[in-house]
Amino acid sequence: MVSAAQAREKYDQLVDRYEEIFFYVGTVGQRLVEFAAPAPGSRVLDVGAGRGAVTRAALGLGCSVTAVDASPKMIARLVEDHPEVTGVAMDAAHLDFADGAFDLAAAGFVVQVLDDPAAVLGEVHRVLRPGGIVALSLETQSVGRLGWFQDLTLEFFAPSTEAGPPPPADDSTEQTGPLTHDRLDALLADTGFADVERLSIEMPVPITDPPALWDWLLPRGLAEIHGTLPEDRRAEFHTRFLAGAQTMHDDGGITLDFAATLHRARRP
């Protein structure tokens, strides 16, 4: 979870390569708007708009779009690309809009990075008209066949575990761990939304060989953590990474299994 200030700093830095790194946001933004099914002319609020995946999809259906994001640079670039959009740099937990101002509020891969998703959902509920729709996408947390990579990174980068293992996960709305699809549905209901629905989607990404996997992961966070290691440890990590990836390649090929859930609900 991140604060608004942390989100602003992070996404300001990623403005030029956001959809290159997070390759799936465009496809999921389109699927999310299709799932929400707004009518032409609907007033759409794109919360945490980023480079505009949801905005583009809503514009394509003839909607009127207002986009907000914690990052001023993201909003500036979005409005530059789409002058017909009203773009505002804004904290999603304090939406400066009138009650009932929108027919649809959508947020693509936003709720899982918020420090207080319940507060944001409360604001979304307020700015939707009665009968308005909220549509959210949530990235599925799954290690899958990359368990070897998780083990390798834990060995090289995790702090000491002398204090013992973490407590077991509790999937209640009070849980402080990663946001799950069940918790998100519960939060929507607790906020006062009705008719909560959910759709699962999968986005497999095939990778040709171990060096290609390394190159794919570098701009997605690997370069930053790898660079923190001493030179000898960097070399060892790289060698063992390639060995683990080769085992994965030989055992059915290297495929990254990205998945997400789409959530839709109605304000009564």
**Residue-range domain boundaries for the chain:** 4-141+172-204+257-266, 144-161+205-256
pTM: 0.79
pLDDT for the residue 24: 74
DSSP 158: P
Q: How many CA atoms lie within 13 A of 203 on its CB side?
A: 15
pLDDT for the residue 154: 92
Average pLDDT per consecutive 10 residues, the chain (268 residues; last block may be shorter): 53 57 80 98 96 96 97 93 97 97 96 93 98 95 79 84 46 58 97 98 91 89 90 96 96 90 98
Measured CA to CA in angstroms, residue 154 lies from 66, 142, 149, 220, 238 at distances of 41, 16, 8, 17, 14
Which numeric CATH code is attached to 4-141+172-204+257-266? 3.40.50.150
pLDDT for the residue 173: 37
pLDDT for the residue 181: 93
pLDDT for the residue 26: 81
Q: 84: helix, coil or strand? A: coil
